[in-house]
Amino acid sequence: MFKITHLSLLIATLALTACGSDSSSDNSKQAPEINPTPPVAVEPGPFTFAIKTTGDTEPEYLVTQDSISAEALTADGTGIEQQGWNYFYPVGNTLFISGYTNMEATSYKVNSDNEVAKLASFVFEDALEMFGNVDDKVLLASDEPRTGNHTQRVLYTVDAETGLVTSKVNYRLHDVDTGTPGEGTVGYATGLVVRDNLLFVPFHKLDDAGYFATPEPNSADIAIYDYPLTDGAEPKKIISDTRTSHVGVNGTTTSLITTNSGSMYTMSNGSVAAGFSPASTKPSGILRINKDETEFDANYFFNIEDATDGGKIFWFDYIGGNKAIARIITDDTGAAPWGAYNKSLIMQKLVIIDLVAQTITDVADVPLHAKRYSSPVEVMNGKVYVSIETADDAFVYQVDIDSATAVKGVEIKGKTIKGFYDLYH
Protein backbone atom coordinates (compact mmCIF):
# COMPACT_ATOMS: atom_id res chain seq x y z
CA MET A 1 0.00 0.00 0.00
CA PHE A 2 2.87 2.34 0.73
CA LYS A 3 4.71 2.14 -2.49
CA ILE A 4 8.40 2.59 -2.76
CA THR A 5 9.17 4.86 -5.62
CA HIS A 6 11.99 2.86 -7.11
CA LEU A 7 10.22 2.83 -10.41
CA SER A 8 10.12 6.57 -10.54
CA LEU A 9 13.64 6.63 -9.24
CA LEU A 10 14.74 4.48 -12.13
CA ILE A 11 12.96 6.73 -14.51
CA ALA A 12 14.46 9.78 -12.87
CA THR A 13 17.98 8.47 -13.03
CA LEU A 14 17.87 6.85 -16.41
CA ALA A 15 15.88 9.38 -18.34
CA LEU A 16 16.90 12.63 -16.82
CA THR A 17 15.98 15.83 -18.42
CA ALA A 18 18.74 18.07 -19.46
CA CYS A 19 17.66 21.08 -17.51
CA GLY A 20 18.73 22.42 -14.18
CA SER A 21 21.50 24.18 -12.46
CA ASP A 22 24.54 23.76 -10.34
CA SER A 23 24.27 27.02 -8.54
CA SER A 24 23.30 26.85 -4.93
CA SER A 25 20.89 29.65 -4.56
CA ASP A 26 19.66 31.41 -1.49
CA ASN A 27 15.97 31.58 -2.13
CA SER A 28 15.27 33.78 0.82
CA LYS A 29 17.23 36.78 -0.36
CA GLN A 30 15.42 39.71 -1.83
CA ALA A 31 14.50 39.81 -5.46
CA PRO A 32 16.56 42.39 -7.35
CA GLU A 33 14.79 45.23 -9.04
CA ILE A 34 14.37 44.88 -12.75
CA ASN A 35 14.85 48.02 -14.76
CA PRO A 36 12.39 48.22 -17.60
CA THR A 37 13.99 48.65 -21.00
CA PRO A 38 12.14 50.52 -23.72
CA PRO A 39 11.00 48.11 -26.39
CA VAL A 40 12.75 48.13 -29.72
CA ALA A 41 10.64 47.58 -32.79
CA VAL A 42 11.71 44.63 -34.88
CA GLU A 43 9.08 43.34 -37.21
CA PRO A 44 9.52 40.05 -38.94
CA GLY A 45 5.78 39.58 -39.08
CA PRO A 46 3.91 36.91 -37.15
CA PHE A 47 6.56 34.92 -35.42
CA THR A 48 6.72 32.12 -32.94
CA PHE A 49 8.97 31.48 -30.01
CA ALA A 50 9.55 28.70 -27.49
CA ILE A 51 9.75 30.17 -24.02
CA LYS A 52 10.71 28.45 -20.80
CA THR A 53 9.27 29.99 -17.65
CA THR A 54 10.97 29.99 -14.26
CA GLY A 55 10.35 28.33 -10.96
CA ASP A 56 10.33 24.95 -9.31
CA THR A 57 8.80 23.51 -12.43
CA GLU A 58 9.66 25.39 -15.60
CA PRO A 59 6.97 24.61 -18.13
CA GLU A 60 7.52 25.64 -21.74
CA TYR A 61 5.15 27.41 -24.09
CA LEU A 62 4.94 27.86 -27.80
CA VAL A 63 3.85 31.45 -28.32
CA THR A 64 2.94 33.12 -31.59
CA GLN A 65 2.47 36.85 -31.83
CA ASP A 66 2.30 39.53 -34.49
CA SER A 67 5.21 41.59 -33.34
CA ILE A 68 8.39 41.23 -31.37
CA SER A 69 8.01 44.80 -30.12
CA ALA A 70 5.47 43.92 -27.51
CA GLU A 71 6.30 45.10 -24.01
CA ALA A 72 7.94 41.82 -23.23
CA LEU A 73 8.12 38.30 -24.54
CA THR A 74 5.97 36.32 -22.20
CA ALA A 75 3.81 33.25 -21.89
CA ASP A 76 1.53 35.10 -19.52
CA GLY A 77 -1.95 34.12 -20.66
CA THR A 78 -0.72 32.97 -24.03
CA GLY A 79 0.99 30.04 -25.68
CA ILE A 80 0.52 26.34 -26.10
CA GLU A 81 1.60 24.56 -22.95
CA GLN A 82 4.13 21.74 -23.23
CA GLN A 83 5.06 19.03 -20.75
CA GLY A 84 8.48 19.12 -19.07
CA TRP A 85 11.78 19.88 -20.79
CA ASN A 86 11.65 19.84 -24.59
CA TYR A 87 13.74 20.04 -27.70
CA PHE A 88 12.31 22.40 -30.33
CA TYR A 89 13.40 21.62 -33.85
CA PRO A 90 12.07 23.40 -36.94
CA VAL A 91 12.01 21.65 -40.30
CA GLY A 92 10.79 24.03 -42.99
CA ASN A 93 7.64 25.58 -41.60
CA THR A 94 6.95 22.69 -39.27
CA LEU A 95 8.14 22.81 -35.68
CA PHE A 96 8.73 19.56 -33.81
CA ILE A 97 8.61 19.51 -30.02
CA SER A 98 9.88 16.47 -28.20
CA GLY A 99 10.68 16.01 -24.56
CA TYR A 100 11.34 13.59 -21.75
CA THR A 101 8.08 13.50 -19.85
CA ASN A 102 5.37 12.16 -22.11
CA MET A 103 7.29 10.04 -24.64
CA GLU A 104 5.44 11.81 -27.44
CA ALA A 105 6.74 14.23 -30.07
CA THR A 106 4.30 16.79 -31.41
CA SER A 107 4.51 18.83 -34.58
CA TYR A 108 3.04 22.30 -35.13
CA LYS A 109 2.29 24.15 -38.33
CA VAL A 110 0.21 27.08 -39.52
CA ASN A 111 -3.28 25.75 -40.22
CA SER A 112 -6.03 26.89 -42.57
CA ASP A 113 -7.15 29.44 -39.98
CA ASN A 114 -3.69 30.98 -40.24
CA GLU A 115 -2.85 29.89 -36.71
CA VAL A 116 0.00 27.81 -35.40
CA ALA A 117 -1.72 24.57 -34.45
CA LYS A 118 -0.91 20.97 -33.74
CA LEU A 119 -0.23 18.97 -36.87
CA ALA A 120 0.43 15.45 -35.63
CA SER A 121 2.22 13.50 -32.97
CA PHE A 122 4.05 10.22 -32.55
CA VAL A 123 5.15 8.18 -29.57
CA PHE A 124 8.62 6.76 -29.10
CA GLU A 125 10.34 4.23 -26.90
CA ASP A 126 13.25 6.23 -25.52
CA ALA A 127 13.62 9.98 -25.35
CA LEU A 128 14.73 11.55 -28.64
CA GLU A 129 17.81 13.65 -28.02
CA MET A 130 19.39 14.29 -31.37
CA PHE A 131 17.77 15.86 -34.40
CA GLY A 132 18.56 16.70 -37.97
CA ASN A 133 16.75 17.46 -41.16
CA VAL A 134 16.91 16.70 -44.84
CA ASP A 135 16.22 19.61 -47.19
CA ASP A 136 13.67 21.19 -44.84
CA LYS A 137 11.36 18.30 -45.69
CA VAL A 138 12.30 15.48 -43.37
CA LEU A 139 13.04 15.34 -39.67
CA LEU A 140 15.61 12.87 -38.43
CA ALA A 141 15.49 12.05 -34.76
CA SER A 142 17.50 9.59 -32.71
CA ASP A 143 17.23 8.30 -29.20
CA GLU A 144 20.41 8.29 -27.11
CA PRO A 145 20.41 5.59 -24.44
CA ARG A 146 22.41 6.86 -21.50
CA THR A 147 23.01 3.74 -19.48
CA GLY A 148 26.34 2.97 -21.10
CA ASN A 149 25.06 -0.38 -22.32
CA HIS A 150 25.96 -1.40 -25.83
CA THR A 151 22.46 -1.14 -27.18
CA GLN A 152 21.41 -0.06 -30.64
CA ARG A 153 19.95 3.35 -31.30
CA VAL A 154 16.71 4.02 -33.14
CA LEU A 155 16.54 6.56 -35.95
CA TYR A 156 13.14 8.03 -36.76
CA THR A 157 12.43 9.58 -40.14
CA VAL A 158 9.50 11.96 -40.09
CA ASP A 159 7.79 13.77 -42.95
CA ALA A 160 7.67 17.46 -42.05
CA GLU A 161 4.65 18.07 -44.27
CA THR A 162 2.48 15.56 -42.40
CA GLY A 163 4.34 15.23 -39.13
CA LEU A 164 4.19 11.45 -39.50
CA VAL A 165 6.95 8.92 -38.99
CA THR A 166 7.77 7.21 -42.26
CA SER A 167 10.44 4.86 -41.02
CA LYS A 168 12.10 3.66 -37.88
CA VAL A 169 15.40 1.80 -38.04
CA ASN A 170 17.86 0.43 -35.54
CA TYR A 171 21.46 1.36 -36.03
CA ARG A 172 24.79 1.03 -34.30
CA LEU A 173 27.02 4.01 -33.71
CA HIS A 174 30.21 3.17 -31.88
CA ASP A 175 30.84 0.30 -29.52
CA VAL A 176 34.03 -0.94 -27.95
CA ASP A 177 32.87 -3.72 -25.69
CA THR A 178 35.37 -5.74 -23.67
CA GLY A 179 32.65 -7.37 -21.61
CA THR A 180 33.71 -5.43 -18.53
CA PRO A 181 31.73 -2.23 -17.99
CA GLY A 182 34.06 0.74 -17.76
CA GLU A 183 36.75 -0.67 -19.99
CA GLY A 184 34.98 0.04 -23.25
CA THR A 185 33.23 3.00 -24.82
CA VAL A 186 29.87 3.73 -26.42
CA GLY A 187 28.90 6.42 -28.89
CA TYR A 188 26.70 9.39 -28.09
CA ALA A 189 25.53 11.22 -31.19
CA THR A 190 25.97 15.00 -31.37
CA GLY A 191 24.53 15.59 -34.81
CA LEU A 192 22.55 14.07 -37.67
CA VAL A 193 23.45 15.58 -41.02
CA VAL A 194 22.56 14.22 -44.45
CA ARG A 195 24.61 15.15 -47.48
CA ASP A 196 23.39 13.55 -50.68
CA ASN A 197 23.18 9.84 -49.89
CA LEU A 198 25.33 9.91 -46.79
CA LEU A 199 24.43 10.42 -43.14
CA PHE A 200 27.10 12.03 -40.96
CA VAL A 201 26.84 11.37 -37.23
CA PRO A 202 29.48 13.05 -35.05
CA PHE A 203 29.67 11.46 -31.63
CA HIS A 204 31.26 11.44 -28.22
CA LYS A 205 32.94 8.32 -26.90
CA LEU A 206 31.46 7.75 -23.48
CA ASP A 207 32.52 5.15 -20.95
CA ASP A 208 30.41 2.00 -21.06
CA ALA A 209 29.81 1.85 -17.31
CA GLY A 210 27.29 4.63 -17.61
CA TYR A 211 29.23 7.40 -15.85
CA PHE A 212 28.78 9.63 -18.90
CA ALA A 213 32.52 10.25 -18.79
CA THR A 214 34.74 10.88 -21.83
CA PRO A 215 37.75 8.62 -21.28
CA GLU A 216 39.20 9.25 -24.76
CA PRO A 217 38.39 12.90 -25.44
CA ASN A 218 41.26 13.80 -27.76
CA SER A 219 39.78 13.18 -31.16
CA ALA A 220 36.96 14.39 -33.35
CA ASP A 221 34.97 11.44 -34.65
CA ILE A 222 32.21 11.17 -37.21
CA ALA A 223 30.41 8.02 -38.27
CA ILE A 224 29.29 7.97 -41.90
CA TYR A 225 26.39 5.82 -43.12
CA ASP A 226 24.73 5.17 -46.40
CA TYR A 227 21.51 7.13 -46.35
CA PRO A 228 18.75 6.18 -46.05
CA LEU A 229 19.70 3.74 -43.32
CA THR A 230 18.71 0.11 -43.45
CA ASP A 231 17.65 -1.65 -40.28
CA GLY A 232 20.64 -2.69 -38.21
CA ALA A 233 22.88 -0.26 -40.07
CA GLU A 234 26.49 0.16 -39.04
CA PRO A 235 28.81 2.99 -40.08
CA LYS A 236 30.41 2.40 -43.45
CA LYS A 237 33.25 4.50 -42.20
CA ILE A 238 34.33 6.40 -39.09
CA ILE A 239 36.61 9.37 -39.61
CA SER A 240 38.76 10.75 -36.82
CA ASP A 241 40.97 13.74 -36.34
CA THR A 242 43.25 14.33 -33.40
CA ARG A 243 43.70 18.08 -33.82
CA THR A 244 40.74 18.75 -31.53
CA SER A 245 38.31 17.00 -29.22
CA HIS A 246 34.95 15.26 -29.75
CA VAL A 247 32.54 17.13 -31.98
CA GLY A 248 29.74 19.01 -30.32
CA VAL A 249 28.35 19.28 -26.86
CA ASN A 250 25.44 17.58 -25.20
CA GLY A 251 22.02 18.81 -26.23
CA THR A 252 23.15 20.88 -29.19
CA THR A 253 21.88 19.72 -32.57
CA THR A 254 23.96 22.05 -34.76
CA SER A 255 27.51 20.96 -33.97
CA LEU A 256 27.98 19.82 -37.56
CA ILE A 257 26.77 22.37 -40.12
CA THR A 258 26.74 22.50 -43.88
CA THR A 259 27.35 25.74 -45.77
CA ASN A 260 25.75 26.75 -49.05
CA SER A 261 28.85 25.63 -50.86
CA GLY A 262 28.48 22.11 -49.53
CA SER A 263 31.37 22.17 -47.09
CA MET A 264 30.73 20.86 -43.60
CA TYR A 265 32.15 22.32 -40.42
CA THR A 266 32.34 20.83 -36.93
CA MET A 267 32.86 22.54 -33.63
CA SER A 268 34.64 21.02 -30.64
CA ASN A 269 34.76 22.29 -27.08
CA GLY A 270 36.40 19.63 -24.90
CA SER A 271 36.05 21.40 -21.57
CA VAL A 272 34.80 20.27 -18.19
CA ALA A 273 32.29 23.10 -18.28
CA ALA A 274 30.76 21.56 -21.40
CA GLY A 275 30.45 18.14 -19.77
CA PHE A 276 33.77 16.55 -20.71
CA SER A 277 35.22 14.33 -18.05
CA PRO A 278 38.14 14.40 -18.27
CA ALA A 279 38.72 17.51 -20.32
CA SER A 280 40.41 17.21 -23.66
CA THR A 281 44.03 18.29 -23.94
CA LYS A 282 43.34 19.39 -27.51
CA PRO A 283 42.30 22.94 -28.29
CA SER A 284 38.73 23.90 -28.99
CA GLY A 285 38.33 24.39 -32.69
CA ILE A 286 36.57 23.98 -35.99
CA LEU A 287 37.28 21.27 -38.57
CA ARG A 288 36.10 21.05 -42.15
CA ILE A 289 34.98 18.34 -44.51
CA ASN A 290 35.05 19.65 -48.03
CA LYS A 291 32.22 19.25 -50.50
CA ASP A 292 31.85 15.67 -51.69
CA GLU A 293 34.69 14.53 -49.40
CA THR A 294 34.37 12.02 -46.58
CA GLU A 295 37.56 13.00 -44.76
CA PHE A 296 38.48 15.95 -42.61
CA ASP A 297 40.33 18.63 -44.53
CA ALA A 298 43.91 18.18 -43.31
CA ASN A 299 44.69 21.75 -44.30
CA TYR A 300 41.90 23.35 -42.34
CA PHE A 301 41.79 23.80 -38.60
CA PHE A 302 40.42 26.92 -37.00
CA ASN A 303 41.92 26.98 -33.52
CA ILE A 304 39.35 28.88 -31.49
CA GLU A 305 41.56 29.10 -28.44
CA ASP A 306 44.29 30.82 -30.41
CA ALA A 307 41.82 33.15 -32.07
CA THR A 308 40.02 34.18 -28.89
CA ASP A 309 42.74 34.24 -26.29
CA GLY A 310 41.80 30.93 -24.72
CA GLY A 311 38.09 30.91 -25.48
CA LYS A 312 36.18 27.72 -26.25
CA ILE A 313 33.33 27.46 -28.67
CA PHE A 314 30.13 26.18 -27.02
CA TRP A 315 27.54 26.56 -29.80
CA PHE A 316 27.38 27.56 -33.42
CA ASP A 317 24.84 27.54 -36.21
CA TYR A 318 24.99 28.39 -39.87
CA ILE A 319 23.56 31.76 -40.95
CA GLY A 320 24.54 31.88 -44.63
CA GLY A 321 27.44 33.35 -46.55
CA ASN A 322 29.98 30.96 -44.96
CA LYS A 323 29.20 32.56 -41.63
CA ALA A 324 28.19 31.04 -38.33
CA ILE A 325 26.76 32.68 -35.28
CA ALA A 326 28.49 31.27 -32.22
CA ARG A 327 28.95 31.47 -28.51
CA ILE A 328 32.45 31.38 -27.07
CA ILE A 329 33.12 30.62 -23.43
CA THR A 330 35.73 33.28 -22.76
CA ASP A 331 37.09 31.75 -19.57
CA ASP A 332 36.26 28.39 -18.06
CA THR A 333 38.99 28.35 -15.47
CA GLY A 334 37.86 26.31 -12.49
CA ALA A 335 34.41 25.78 -13.93
CA ALA A 336 32.27 23.09 -12.36
CA PRO A 337 31.35 20.01 -14.39
CA TRP A 338 28.58 21.00 -16.82
CA GLY A 339 29.03 24.57 -15.57
CA ALA A 340 28.23 26.02 -19.00
CA TYR A 341 24.78 24.48 -18.75
CA ASN A 342 23.65 26.80 -16.01
CA LYS A 343 24.20 30.21 -14.54
CA SER A 344 27.21 29.29 -12.47
CA LEU A 345 29.28 30.31 -15.49
CA ILE A 346 28.13 33.51 -17.16
CA MET A 347 31.04 33.67 -19.56
CA GLN A 348 29.65 33.30 -23.06
CA LYS A 349 30.15 35.94 -25.69
CA LEU A 350 28.23 36.14 -28.94
CA VAL A 351 30.33 36.20 -32.10
CA ILE A 352 30.06 35.89 -35.87
CA ILE A 353 32.56 33.49 -37.39
CA ASP A 354 33.65 33.60 -40.98
CA LEU A 355 34.33 29.92 -41.50
CA VAL A 356 36.36 30.31 -44.67
CA ALA A 357 38.36 33.38 -43.71
CA GLN A 358 38.78 31.99 -40.18
CA THR A 359 37.92 35.25 -38.48
CA ILE A 360 35.86 35.91 -35.40
CA THR A 361 33.96 39.14 -34.84
CA ASP A 362 32.40 39.87 -31.48
CA VAL A 363 28.80 40.97 -31.79
CA ALA A 364 28.90 44.43 -30.31
CA ASP A 365 26.87 45.45 -27.29
CA VAL A 366 25.88 41.98 -26.18
CA PRO A 367 26.88 41.24 -22.58
CA LEU A 368 28.58 38.09 -21.40
CA HIS A 369 25.81 35.64 -20.78
CA ALA A 370 24.84 32.03 -20.12
CA LYS A 371 22.91 29.91 -22.58
CA ARG A 372 22.53 26.20 -22.65
CA TYR A 373 20.11 25.16 -25.35
CA SER A 374 19.23 26.82 -28.62
CA SER A 375 17.17 25.23 -31.29
CA PRO A 376 18.46 25.88 -34.85
CA VAL A 377 18.34 29.60 -35.69
CA GLU A 378 16.31 31.05 -38.51
CA VAL A 379 17.60 34.04 -40.40
CA MET A 380 14.74 36.50 -40.85
CA ASN A 381 15.49 39.39 -43.23
CA GLY A 382 19.20 39.20 -42.56
CA LYS A 383 18.59 39.18 -38.84
CA VAL A 384 18.91 36.53 -36.19
CA TYR A 385 17.09 36.66 -32.86
CA VAL A 386 18.82 35.34 -29.80
CA SER A 387 17.98 34.99 -26.14
CA ILE A 388 20.66 36.55 -23.95
CA GLU A 389 20.53 35.49 -20.32
CA THR A 390 22.49 37.18 -17.59
CA ALA A 391 22.46 36.56 -13.85
CA ASP A 392 19.26 38.43 -13.18
CA ASP A 393 17.35 38.71 -16.42
CA ALA A 394 16.95 37.71 -20.05
CA PHE A 395 16.48 39.86 -23.14
CA VAL A 396 15.97 39.24 -26.79
CA TYR A 397 18.65 40.65 -29.08
CA GLN A 398 18.29 41.24 -32.78
CA VAL A 399 21.60 40.51 -34.46
CA ASP A 400 22.47 41.98 -37.82
CA ILE A 401 24.64 39.43 -39.54
CA ASP A 402 26.47 41.69 -41.93
CA SER A 403 27.47 44.34 -39.43
CA ALA A 404 27.88 41.97 -36.47
CA THR A 405 25.91 44.35 -34.34
CA ALA A 406 22.96 43.73 -32.10
CA VAL A 407 20.01 45.69 -30.86
CA LYS A 408 18.72 44.93 -27.44
CA GLY A 409 15.05 44.11 -27.61
CA VAL A 410 12.41 43.53 -25.04
CA GLU A 411 12.70 41.58 -21.86
CA ILE A 412 12.00 37.88 -21.77
CA LYS A 413 9.61 37.10 -18.94
CA GLY A 414 11.03 33.70 -18.34
CA LYS A 415 14.25 31.79 -18.05
CA THR A 416 15.06 31.49 -21.70
CA ILE A 417 13.77 31.44 -25.21
CA LYS A 418 14.86 28.23 -26.83
CA GLY A 419 14.17 29.40 -30.33
CA PHE A 420 12.53 31.99 -32.59
CA TYR A 421 10.67 30.65 -35.61
CA ASP A 422 9.04 32.02 -38.69
CA LEU A 423 6.44 29.37 -39.43
CA TYR A 424 4.47 31.62 -41.79
CA HIS A 425 6.92 32.08 -44.65
Partner 1 sequence: MKSLSLHLPSNFRIAALFYAKQLQLCVKRLPLVVTTFTLSLLTFSTLAATHSDETNTQLQKKHLNNKVNGEQINAVDNTIERISVVGQNDHKELTSSGFNVDVLLTEEFKNSSYNLIQVLQSSPGINVRHNGGVGSAFNLSLNGLSGNQIRYFFDGIPMEDFGSALAFPANLVEQIQVYKGVVPVSLGGDALGGAVNVITPELDQDLLDLSYTYGSFNTHKANLFGQRYFDNGSFIRLSTSAEHSDNNYRMNNVNQTDALGNVIGQMSVKRFHDEYTAGMVNLKFGLINKTYADELSLGITFAKNRNNEQHTATSINKVFGQFHSNNETKLFSTIYKKDFNQLSLSAYLLIGESEEVINDTANRDYNWLGEYTIKSDELKGELSAKSLFTVTDDVIRGNVSAQYQLTAQDTISISYSHNYLEKTGVDQVNLNNTAFSLPNWIRKSVTGLAYDKTAFTNDLTISVFAKYYNYQGEINAEQSINFTAQNVKTEVDLNETGYGASVSFQLNANLLIKSSYENAYRMPEAEEILGTGKYVRPNPNLQAEQSDNINLGLQADFNTSNTVHRFESNIFYRNSANFIRYVPDQIVYGIYRNLQYVETTGIEAGYYLRFFDNYALQLNGTYQELINKSLFDAEGTVDLNYGERMPNEPYLFANARLSANYDVGQNAQVNLFWTSAFVEQFYLNWESAGNTEDKLVIPQSITHDIDIEYSFADGSYNVSLSARNIFNAEVFDNFNIEKPGRAFYLKFRYLY
Which 38-57 residues touch partner 1, going by CB under 8 A? 53-57
CA–CA gap between residue 16 and residue 164 (Å, rounded): 26
Binding mask 168-207 for partner 1 (x = CB under 8 A): x-x----------xx-------------------------
Q: How far is the CB of 54 from partner 1 (least distance, A)?
A: 5
CA–CA gap between residue 62 and residue 87 (Å, rounded): 12
Q: How far is the CB of 229 from partner 1 (least distance, A)?
A: 13
> What is each CA distance from 384 to 66, 134, 232, 377, in whole angstroms?
17, 22, 39, 7
> What is each CA distance from 114 to 47, 65, 81, 110, 121, in whole angstroms?
12, 12, 19, 6, 20
What pairs with residue 154 in β-bridges? 170
Q: How far is the CB of 405 from partner 1 (least distance, A)?
A: 27
CA–CA gap between residue 337 and residue 162 (Å, rounded): 40
CA–CA gap between residue 296 and residue 266 (Å, rounded): 10
Part of the chain binding partner 1 (CB under 8 A), chosen from 25-33, 86-94, 290-298, 305-313: 25-33
Query: What number of chain residues touch partner 1 (CB under 8 A)?
Result: 102
Q: How far is the CB of 265 from partner 1 (least distance, A)?
A: 25
Using CB under 8 A as the binding rule, whether residue 147 contacts partner 1 is answered as yes
Task: Determine if the peptide bond prior to 145 is cis (ω within 30°).
Answer: no
Chain positions 292 to 321 lying near partner 1, rule: CB under 8 A, are: none
Binding mask 211-240 for partner 1 (x = CB under 8 A): xxx-x---------------xx--------
- If residue 36 lies in a helix (H) or strand (E), which one and from where to where? none
Are residues 99 and 119 in contact, defined by beta-carbon separation less than 8 angstroms?
no
Q: How far is the CB of 335 from partner 1 (least distance, A)?
A: 12
Chain positions 240 to 259 lying near partner 1, rule: CB under 8 A, are: 250-251
Binding mask 96-115 for partner 1 (x = CB under 8 A): -----xxxx-----------
